Amino acid sequence: MIKVKIIPPKGRGVVATTLIAKGTLIEASPVSSFPKEQWDMIRQTSIFKYCFVRLSEYRIQKKVDGYLVFGTSTLCNHSEKPNSYIEWVENELGLWAHLIAKEDIQPNEEVSIFYANINEYSLASKFVT
């Protein structure tokens, strides 16, 4: 359904290998959270670019807990008009990040999401579309 590929000048990104219909669960990834007090430390590591915030929380206040997602969705690039989104799901197995198609995604089309905290990425200009 998806694969990782180099997308100049962005670097790695995710593209569809088949037609992905609107509403399709593209990937379900387990999540680990960390408290907002650890952001300063996390920003100094290579895992920062793979961390997420919940848009619903970030819109209210910028100092929010962070989430490390263990899946391909961490390689989705930012778009102001994304074709997919993250739905946060908590169940008996823990917290999950569901990557869901917001619209039909054509084969070879890049799968993109909206980065709530895009202003915190120093290299944002490389992967923003």
CB 75 within 8 A of CB 49: no
User: Which pLDDT score, from 0 to 100, does residue 123 have?
Assistant: 47
Domain 2-116, second-level architecture = Beta Complex (2.170)
Residue indicated by tokens 């997919």:
84
Please write the tens of the pLDDT for every residue from 32-81: 989 889 988 998 998 888 888 776 666 666 677 888 999 999 999 989 89
Nearest to 27 by CA among 79, 73, 92, 69: 73
What is the rounded distance in angstroms from the CA atom of residue 68 to the CA atom of residue 31? 6
Nearest to 17 by CA among 8, 26, 25: 26
Give the domain ranges of the chain: 2-116
How many other CB atoms are found less than 10 A from the CB of residue 20? 23
Q: Which amino acid is at 70?
A: F
Please write the tens of the pLDDT for every residue from 81-106: 999 999 989 999 999 999 999 999 99
Determine the average pLDDT of the residues in 9-21: 96
User: Which pLDDT score, from 0 to 100, does residue 126 have?
Assistant: 46
Please write the tens of the pLDDT for every residue from 73-87: 999 998 989 999 999
How many other CB atoms are found less than 10 A from the CB of residue 15? 17
Banded model confidence at residue 127, pLDDT cuts 50, 70, 90: very low
